[in-house]
Amino acid sequence: MKLAVRISIILTVAFSSAYFHAFSNAHSSNAETLSNNQASRWTYRAVGDFYKLTSDDKVRFNQRPSTHLKATRLHQDAGKFYATPFQDVSVEHFRGKRVQYSAFLKAKNVEGDSGLWMKAKSRGAVVAFDDMAVRALKGSKGWTRYSLVFDVPTSADTLSIGFYLRGSGALWLAGPELKAVSNKVQAHSIAWDEKKYTQFASDLKSEPTNMDFTDSRADLSDWMVFTSKSPSKVGVDHAAVYQNKPSGFIEQTEKYPGDFVLFFQDISAAAYSGKRVSFSGMVKTREVTDWTALWMRVDSGKKVAAFDNMQERPIRGDTEWSPYSVVLEVPSDATRIRFGFMQSGSGKSWLNSPKLDVVGKVSSVSGTPAGTVEHGSQ
């Protein structure tokens, strides 16, 4: 499978417990690492730069490393600060079925609350949700199995699973499992409230945010991060400036070209319907062995309507600040625009001054329609 196609669907891979056992151990040096995401295959959101997601080889479950989410500062306001790793899961085999998401959790000194969450969406609207709210994990507790169960409507095009930590403390996760279950298993779903549940990969924004990487809540606030298997760092570099603005960066140490890292935003396509859209920015690279790129994808419900990740015009090696862009048509039935920055292989890349603009027909489309490729759960 071409890397372009693989990255277009990478965040919709089918859930497998095997994904939770390949981790890296990279640490930030002289730049702020926004997400501290060192757990492969998890997409990660956080408000507050003091959360870290890693593999913990010392705290093991069934002789395998656990996934460790911790706050690096004490006594943080649980109403303001949180971290939530999650995965978008292929919904194809779960539509119209009762689904159970379960995992073993272990907690230590959780001052806010923590637990599992699961959500199904249909064309941007939440149609099923549960988050352990009435039995959230607080304080300290040994390994215990928890489960969420709800019915996935036949109209669902997105199924997301995750876990969370609000405030301070530490949480370990092991043995995650997602499966269809009998209707004899009791289901539970609570009403969705966007303002109350913003930490659970909230509904699509109407427009891009924190495009200058200076949000006071956290450097890469409103951006999401995905890492593959190799050690990597993703964050904001305040020393790498362009026109007095800091830069988002990606750094990988492994040279294997199949490993890649990306950060991205999702927005509603409503304001861009029927228009031609450009995602652009200034990019600089150092010792990139494979390639760096801007990328953008347009979804129409369950289908990928258009996609471009610059694979035919990659950025490689050592480059100075230069402008790049990807341009796509947004169909009238489009539901979501996903745009971001990526690097495959080793090296370091910086993005500065990213913009999402409506452009005229004089700007040529850079990508090609993705036809009827189904993106699964996105």
CB 300 within 8 A of CB 273: no
Q: Percentage helix, strand, coil, to 5, in the chain?
A: 5, 55, 40
pLDDT for 308: 95
In this structure, the strands spanning 224-227 and 260-268 are antiparallel
Q: What percent of the chain has pLDDT over 70?
A: 82
Torsion sign across C-alpha atoms 140, 144, 149, 155? positive
pLDDT for 335: 86
Write b or e for each residue in 118-151: b if 16 or more Cβ atoms lie within 10 A of its Cβ, otherwise e. Answer: bbbbbbbebbbbbbbeeebbbeeeeeeebbbbbb
Distance from the Cα of residue 190 to its chain's centroid: 24
Q: How confident is the model at residue 371 (pLDDT cuts 50, 70, 90)?
A: very low
- Region 169-191 average pLDDT: 94
What are the phi and psi torsion angles at 308 (to 5°)?
A: -155, 130
Torsion sign across C-alpha atoms 114, 115, 116, 122? negative
Side-chain-side CA neighbours of 177 within 13 Å: the count stands at: 11
User: Is residue 98 pLDDT above 80, yes or no?
Assistant: yes
pLDDT for 222: 79
User: Which among 46, 202, 185, 40 is positioned nearest to 119, based on CA atoms?
Assistant: 202
> Which residue in the block uniquely carries the two structure tokens 């890292």?
261
pLDDT for 228: 73
* Distances from the Cα of 326 to the Cα of 182, 306, 341, 355, 368, angstroms: 46, 11, 11, 11, 11
pLDDT for 89: 83
CA distance 68 to 112: 17
Which amino acid appears at position 371 of this protein? G
Q: How confident is the model at residue 87 (pLDDT cuts 50, 70, 90)?
A: confident
Structure-token pair, residue 305? 């309507």
User: Which among 160, 162, 105 is positioned nearest to 138, based on CA atoms?
Assistant: 105
Distance from the Cα of residue 232 to its chain's centroid: 15
274-296 pLDDT per residue, tens: 999 999 999 999 999 999 999 99
pLDDT for 239: 93
User: Is residue 109 pLDDT above 90, yes or no?
Assistant: yes
CB 326 within 8 A of CB 268: no
pLDDT for 287: 95
pLDDT for 369: 59
pLDDT for 125: 83
CB 7 within 8 A of CB 188: no
User: Is residue 186 pLDDT above 90, yes or no?
Assistant: yes
Burial level of 88, CB count in 10 A (0-12/13-18/19+)? buried
13-35 pLDDT per residue, tens: 323 322 222 222 222 222 233 33
Q: How confident is the model at residue 79 (pLDDT cuts 50, 70, 90)?
A: confident
User: Is residue 200 pLDDT above 80, yes or no?
Assistant: no
In this structure, the strands spanning 82-89 and 98-122 are unpaired
Identify which has the larger pLDDT, 177 or 38: 177
* Weakest mean pLDDT among 136-140, 171-175, 204-208, 264-268: 204-208
- Region 90-118 average pLDDT: 94
pLDDT for 361: 77
CA distance 190 to 149: 11
Identify which has the larger pLDDT, 239 or 6: 239
User: Which among 212, 239, 237, 238 is positioned nearest to 223, based on CA atoms?
Assistant: 212
Identify which has the larger pLDDT, 365 or 367: 365
Q: Give the list of residues 6+ apart from residue 143 with CB closer than 8 angstroms, or none.
A: 61, 104, 105, 106, 172, 174
Mean pLDDT rounded to a whole number for the chain: 82
312-347 pLDDT per residue, tens: 999 999 999 999 999 999 999 898 899 999 999 999
| Domains and their CATH numbers in the chain | 32-181 (2.60.120.260), 224-369 (2.60.120.260)
Structure-token pair, residue 369? 């329609």
Burial level of 30, CB count in 10 A (0-12/13-18/19+)? exposed
User: Is residue 199 pLDDT above 50, yes or no?
Assistant: yes
CB atoms within 10 A of CB 96: 11
> Which residue in the block uniquely carries the two structure tokens 């943080």?
76
Q: Is the pTM of this model over 0.75?
A: no
- Region 203-219 average pLDDT: 79
209-213, 219-223, 232-236, 327-331: range with highest mean pLDDT: 327-331
- Region 183-207 average pLDDT: 80
